Amino acid sequence: MMPETPGYRIFRRTTLVVLTVFVCAPLVVMVTTAVKPLSQVQSGFRWIPTEPTLRPFVDMWSTVPLARYFVNSVVVAAVATVLSVSVAVLAAYAVSRWQFRGRESFRLAVLSTQMFPGVLFLLPLFLLFVMVDRATGLELVGSRTGLVVTYLTFALPYAIWMLVSYFETIPRDLDDAAKVDGCGPVRLLFTVLLPAARPVIVAVSIFSFMLAWGEVLFASVLTDEQTRTVSVGLQSYAGEANVYWNQVMAASLVVSAPIVLAFLLLQRHITSGLTAGAVK
């Protein structure tokens, strides 16, 4: 490796400082706005609040039903994550370990779904949900179930693609050794492949959870007042007469906490999983 020149060192450090400021400045604005009275927010921006207060973090729960929105997001994101990862594990296991007719076509179809923007599926999904409701009485529009099904259509292709790529890097010698010990297909999956693929499974789970937690477009169309998620519910702080900017920032910090906490706790697994998935 070539030695680092002084000019390159200065350029690298300057770039890191600029990027750090670029990333941290919005976070500082959010925090300072969240601890100001509304009158101070509307009078003009100041980096350091003159009258800091935690009242916005209390009022944000009563201005809008944030607790209900929060519960909806947790339920939808958790169920969508569990279902997408469970189905993806089984699909990836079959594709990576068994030969069957249509195997390559299935892989191509899974990969091709990532080429289209999600907005193209909004109207077809809405019409499909309406037809299902009319035919079966199963209410999908305005329900958590409809959101879970919607997020499955986005998370599943990515999860299957990542897991297939990683399962194929696991040596088949491990399969043969497990079969010699009497392992069947199901036991082989749970005792050999899943422990080896833990980093990728964690990375895929975080991705699926983030997708469901922060999605706005489909949640704004397919939910009502009772099933609204936090990503859509934050818009409720903007009323006809006023916008509670301090409460918006406080609520944004609170609803971002689960994702940030998950990243901090599982950072090592996420990095390992993404690296392993990219190797293939």
Question: What CATH number corresponds to the domain at position 170?
Answer: 1.10.3720.10
- Give me 261's structure tokens: 């906490």
Identify the domain containing residue 111 by its residue range: 64-279
- pLDDT recorded at residue 2: 53
**C-alpha to C-alpha distance for 257 and 191, rounded to whole angstroms:** 34
Q: Has residue 253 been placed in a domain?
A: yes
Query: 45 lies in a domain?
Result: no
Residue 264 resides in a domain: yes
Asked, for residue 48, whether it belongs to a domain, the answer is no
**What are the residues whose beta carbons fall under 8 Å from the beta carbon of 5, sequence distance 6 or more?**
none
pLDDT of residue 240: 66
Which residue, chain included where needed, has tokens 């080896």? Answer: 196
pLDDT for 154: 85
Q: Has residue 32 been placed in a domain?
A: no
* Structural domains of the chain, count: 1
> Is residue 49 one of the residues assigned to a domain?
no
16 within domain boundaries: no
Q: For position 18, what pLDDT does the model report? A: 92
Distant-in-sequence, close-in-space partners of 256: CB < 8 Å, separation ≥ 6:
none
List all residues 6 or more positions away from 167 whose beta carbon is below 8 Å from its beta carbon. Answer: 92, 93, 95, 96, 97, 193, 197
Task: Give the pLDDT score at 95.
Answer: 86
| Side chain identity, residue 193 | L
Q: Looking at residue 275, what is its pLDDT?
A: 54
Counting every residue written for the chain, the total comes to 280
d(CA 54, CA 33) in angstroms, rounded, equals 11
CB of 78 within 8 A of CB of 206? no
Report the pLDDT value the prediction gives residue 278, as an integer from 0 to 100.
46
pLDDT score, position 86: 92
- Residue 24 in domain: no
**Cβ(262)–Cβ(209) under 8 Å?**
yes
pLDDT of residue 85: 92
Q: Which residue ranges in the chain fall short of pLDDT 50?
A: 277-280
Which residue in 202, 220, 221 sits closest to 210, CA to CA?
202
CA–CA separation, 203 vs 273, rounded Å?
6
